[in-house]
Amino acid sequence: MGILDGRRALVTGGASGIGRAIVESYVAEGATVVIADRNEMQAERAAGELGAAAAVWVDVADEESVRSAYARAVDALGQVDVLVNSAGIAEESELSDMPLEVWRRTIDIDLTGTFLMCRAAVPAMVSAGGGRIINISSQLGIKGAVALSHYAAAKAGVIALTKSLALEVSRHNVLVNAIAPGPVTTPLVAGMTEEWKAAKMAEIPLGRWGRPEEVAPTAVLLASDPGGNLYLGQTLGPNSGDVMP
Ligand SMILES: NC(=O)c1ccc[n+]([C@@H]2O[C@H](COP(=O)([O-])OP(=O)(O)OC[C@H]3O[C@@H](n4cnc5c(N)ncnc54)[C@H](O)[C@@H]3O)[C@@H](O)[C@H]2O)c1
């Protein structure tokens, strides 16, 4: 018996990193999971390796792509009880010479992508009498970061979106929360400069980065009953002490 037995979950960004670890934990806890990711090959491989029910291609920044991916996920699952929005990008760029397309790409994927996925999920969750939405923000959305103003702004937006949507839909038993991890060893941060990584490491009270499997249990908690039943509009922080709100 797992604590997510019978739950049907859709995880964006589930092909890699934190999303992949969440898929693995959800399957281990008895959930049926669909991975939605723009890296189709990696998503299919992850689905096979982790025992997910299906992988669907999506670009979360594209309205039509989200619509059709969500419909394919519903075909596979019957209904989405839990939506996890983990798809995201981060690319270093100082504000003073940041190209507008870098700003827009980050906002489109990290913030608008979360909005589009939430908008796709909410009506059916309301009709079904409940659901859970878990948005992966970042501690940088709380504290800011050098060379990541676009990313920090998008992630702060995810926290505000999470609170606002929680207020809109909690009376329908749709519980919306965010997780704001600290630095976690994944391909997302592998591309950051050594200088950036060293500066980040120096800031962290725990003295080490997290691993994806150390973030996933927070997503299990938020999806679970009774453990997650009283969380709404919260931002939980498995962050190695990087932010202490
Ligand atoms: N790694 C960290 O240090 C860290 C810290 C805080 C928050 N986060 C957040 O956690 C989430 C997961 O990041 P990660 O570190 O696991 O990164 P990752 O690169 O390992 O995984 C991100 C996944 O998102 C997918 N993706 C990217 N753009 C997409 C799009 N437009 N449509 C669909 N899928 C898309 C990628 O293909 C990839 O599979 C992100 O939202 C990230 O901002 C990461």
CATH number for the domain formed by residue range(s) 8-232:
3.40.50.720
Q: What band does 1 get if pLDDT is binned at 50, 70 and 90?
A: confident
**Of 40, 161, 186, which is best to mutate to test ligand 1, by the most ligand atoms within 8 angstroms of its C-beta?**
186
In the structure, which protein residues have their CB atom closer than 6 angstroms to any atom of ligand 1?
12-13, 15-19, 37-39, 58-61, 86-90, 109, 113, 136, 138, 181, 183-184, 186-189
Query: In this predicted structure, which of 38-52, 162-176, 189-203, 215-229 has the lowest mean pLDDT?
Result: 189-203
Residue nearest to atom 11 of ligand 1 (CA): 86
Q: What mean pLDDT comes out for the span 95-114?
A: 98
Q: What pLDDT sits at residue 137?
A: 98
The pair of structure tokens assigned to 116 is 């589009």
Alpha carbon 1 to chain centroid distance? 25
Is residue 31 within 8 A of residue 22, CB to CB? The reply is no
Indicate if the pLDDT at residue 245 is higher than 90. Answer: no
Q: What pLDDT sits at residue 187?
A: 94
Count of H-run helices and E-run strands, the chain = 10, 7
HSE-up of residue 152 (Cα within 13 Å, Cβ side): 14
Q: What pLDDT sits at residue 90?
A: 97
Indicate if the pLDDT at residue 91 is higher than 90. Answer: yes
Residue 23 CA to ligand 1 centre (angstroms) = 13
Q: What pLDDT sits at residue 153?
A: 98
Q: Percentage of the chain with pLDDT > 90?
A: 93
- Of 26, 70, 151, 231, the active-site residue reads 151
Residue 171 CA to ligand 1 centre (angstroms) = 30
Closest alpha carbon to 7 in 245, 155, 182, 219: 219
Q: Could you report the per-residue pLDDT of 115-148, keeping only the tens digit for each? A: 999 999 999 999 999 999 999 999 999 999 999 9
The question of whether 231 is a catalytic residue gets the answer: no
Residue nearest to atom 36 of ligand 1 (CA): 13
C-alpha distances out from residue 81 to 16, 33, 146, 176, 183, Å:
22, 10, 37, 12, 28
Q: What pLDDT sits at residue 135?
A: 99
Of ligand 1's listed atoms, the one at least distance from the Cα of 212 is: 16
Q: What pLDDT sits at residue 131?
A: 98
Long-range contacts formed by 139-143: CB under 8 A, 24+ apart: 139/180, 139/181, 139/182, 139/237, 139/239, 139/242, 139/243, 141/180, 142/180, 142/235, 142/243, 142/245, 143/242, 143/243
> What are the residue boundaries of the structural domains of the chain, listed by start?
8-232
Residue nearest to atom 42 of ligand 1 (CA): 88
Q: Could you report the per-residue pLDDT of 183-215, keeping only the tens digit for each? A: 999 999 888 888 888 888 999 999 999 999 999
Q: Could you report the per-residue pLDDT of 224-243, keeping only the tens digit for each? A: 999 999 999 999 999 999 99
Of ligand 1's listed atoms, the one at least distance from the Cα of 181 is: 6
Rg, the chain, Cα only: 17
Average pLDDT, the chain: 97
The pTM assigned to this predicted structure is 0.98
Strand 54-57: give its sheet, edge to edge: 54-57, 32-37, 8-12, 82-85, 131-136, 174-179, 235-236
